[in-house]
Amino acid sequence: MKMTFRWYGQDDPVTLDNIRQIPNMTGVVSAIYDIPVGQVWPIERIQALVDEVHQHHLELEVIESVPVHEDIKLKRGHYQQYIDNYKQTIRNLAQCGIKCICYNFMPVFDWTRSSIDHVLEDGSQALVYYQDEVSQLDPTKLTLPGWDASYTPQEVGELIVAYQQIGEEGLWENLAYFIQEIMPVAIECDVNMAIHPDDPPWSIFGIPRIITCEENLDRFISLYDDPHHGLTLCSGSLGCTVHNDIPALIRKYGAQKRIHFAHVRNVKILEDGSFEESAHYAKCGSLDMVDIMRAYVETGFEGYIRPDHGRMIWGEQGKPGYGLYDRALGAMYLGGIIDALKGK
């Protein structure tokens, strides 16, 4: 298992030198964030990123993420050109030593929260999703860090209507087409494609979401019969509903060798189905973090793992969910569990 840390490039307040000082860290996962969605990532830009990470004695073998253009998800407009561009980006990444690509197929919006700086009882700040607050939001005016901000409110509204019209089955059909197109290239390049589940794993603003539960993960896996076609199993995304048993999912798909990237974090599920992101420590949230890590150890998981979102603690200012201190604590906590389970 390779412990990694998400790094947002030179503009990230968390530096590569900071990350290198975390004892059990092997490398970072990153991306090129200023290339418009749908365009090919140039080899020169990829290699420059890889070289910068290597200069700090860290690995860069996972890209998170290569965004999928909305035209692909809707199978409209220039979707085929965007798919061809995606294929070329896979080839370019492989040429620079990338072994795993994380991506998602969430319509319009990436991860969604009602607040990114909610003050918890202990004084730390965390990302939260409160159902009553989300229901009052205007999705055409909503922006969160990491979202594609190139769309106008009118365009967002039009996208929402378009997805409502194609529904879940239409989205499944378009995902299946995309997978059939890109997987031969990924296999040829020996790159693992790891889809990230929807966050949260239910429909928001009337927009269909499909990577949400065991039944749908089974359906996704069945789209292509090759181990390069797999999952980013995110405990925080799938685990923010009581209907998903995260250790059981890990044991099932881990045994199939379909988990390529593990996002591990804890969440506290509230009575109305809302949730708060918590410290990784098991007693702070609703997930059995020890059993989650036991499932990875039992299934012989040898892929990439990272402590996912963290709170802002000790007065740190930075990218919401991606401060240094709480994620570093999470990495050490998870590493300690692994060592204990392996009897080291």
- From CA 89, how far away is CA 136, in angstroms rounded? 39
Amino acid present at 64: E
User: Which residue among the candidates 263, 280, 304, 325 is catalytic per the annotation?
Assistant: 263
Amino acid present at 111: W
Q: What is the pLDDT of residues 81-109, one digit of tens each?
A: 999 999 999 999 999 999 999 999 999 88
Quick one: which of 343, 305, 342, 344 has its CA closest to 327?
Answer: 305
The pLDDT > 70 percentage for the chain reads 97
The pLDDT value given to residue 146: 56
Q: What average pLDDT does this structure show over 187-195?
A: 98
- Is the bond preceding 65 in cis, omega lying within 30 degrees of 0? yes
Is 308 among the catalytic positions?
yes
In DSSP terms, 62 is beta-bridged to 29, 100
Q: What is the pLDDT of residues 4-41, one digit of tens each?
A: 999 999 999 999 999 999 999 999 999 999 999 999 99
- From CA 221, how far away is CA 213, in angstroms rounded? 12
pLDDT for 191 beyond 70: yes
Q: What is the pLDDT of residues 131-162, one digit of tens each?
A: 999 888 887 777 665 556 667 788 888 899 99
User: Which residue among the candidates 102, 189, 234, 284 is catalytic per the annotation?
Assistant: 234
Q: Phi first, then psi: what are they for 128, rounded to 5°? A: -135, 155
Q: What average pLDDT does this structure show over 187-216?
A: 95
What CATH number has the domain bearing residue 253?
A: 3.20.20.150
Quick one: which of 182, 1, 196, 12 has its CA closest to 93?
Answer: 182
Is 234 among the catalytic positions?
yes
> Considering the entire predicted model, what is its pTM?
0.95
Is 263 among the catalytic positions?
yes
Q: Provide the sign of the torsion angle of the four alpha carbons 58, 247, 105, 312, taken in this order.
A: negative
- From CA 244, how far away is CA 198, in angstroms rounded? 13
Alpha helices in the chain (DSSP H): 16-20, 43-55, 70-74, 79-95, 131-134, 153-189, 214-221, 235-238, 246-255, 289-298, 325-342
User: Which residue among the candidates 284, 309, 325, 333 is catalytic per the annotation?
Assistant: 309
The pLDDT value given to residue 161: 92
Of the ranges 111-125, 182-196, 309-323, the best mean pLDDT one: 182-196
Count of domains observed in the chain = 1
Is 84 among the catalytic positions?
no
pLDDT for 338 beyond 80: yes
User: Which residue among the candidates 322, 325, 326, 333 is catalytic per the annotation?
Assistant: 322
Mean of the per-residue pLDDT values of the chain: 94
Q: Phi first, then psi: what are they for 306, rounded to 5°? A: -145, 145
**pLDDT band with cut points at 50, 70 and 90 for residue 67:** very high
Is 102 among the catalytic positions?
no
In DSSP terms, 312 is beta-bridged to 125
User: Which residue among the candidates 12, 71, 308, 326 is catalytic per the annotation?
Assistant: 308
Burial 54-69 (b: 16+ CB within 10 A, else e): eebebbbbbbbbbbbb
Enclosing domain of residue 285: 2-342
Q: What is the pLDDT of residues 250-302, one digit of tens each?
A: 999 999 999 999 999 999 999 999 999 999 999 999 999 999 999 999 999 99
Tokens, residue 11: 């503009």
Is 54 among the catalytic positions?
no
The CB density around residue 163, as the number of other CB atoms within 10 Å, is 23
User: Which residue among the candidates 69, 118, 196, 280 is catalytic per the annotation?
Assistant: 196
